Structure 1
């Protein structure tokens, strides 16, 4: 059985990707001055390293969304 590091994300899209990105955008851009989340998403389409970095940031976003839902 194949497992994915982001399997906690609902594949049916319970959390909208735009919402998840909004939870990390400011922090990402503070950590990477002069770079946007869109830059990372674009590079992730052809760079394994950037795809991994984006996956890690999206996992953080999912964790923040889950914490917000728990209250």
Structure 2
């Protein structure tokens, strides 16, 4: 899945990085055995590839956070 690097998150719970990370933490660990989301975040500070991977995972988290809002509307 490609994401827009200029994409921003709306304020509120959907924009809270801690909340968003909680939505993907288990899935990331399942897809990357022996590695944590915190490992990826550390590497993203100096690796363009990891920065892109983190951005993609956070886009998944944002979509998950927005899903209940769409169901209400």
TM-score category of the 2 structures, normalised to the smaller one? 0.7 to 0.9
Q: TM-score, normalising length from structure 2?
A: 0.81
**Structure 2 unpaired stretches of 5+:** none
Map Cα deviations across residues 28-59 of structure 1 (whole Å, 9 max, x no partner). 00000000000000000000000000000000
Contact 1:6 1:59 in 2 (8 A): no
Alpha-carbon distance in 2 for matches of 1:62, 1:16: 10
Q: For 1:46-57, list aligned pairs within 5 A.
A: 46-57=46-57
Unaligned runs of 5+ in 1: none
Pick the structure with more helix per residue: 2
TM-score, reference length from structure 1: 0.83
What CA RMSD, in Å, does the superposition of the two structures yield over aligned residues? 1.4
SS at match of 1:35: coil
Number of residues paired by the alignment? Answer: 66
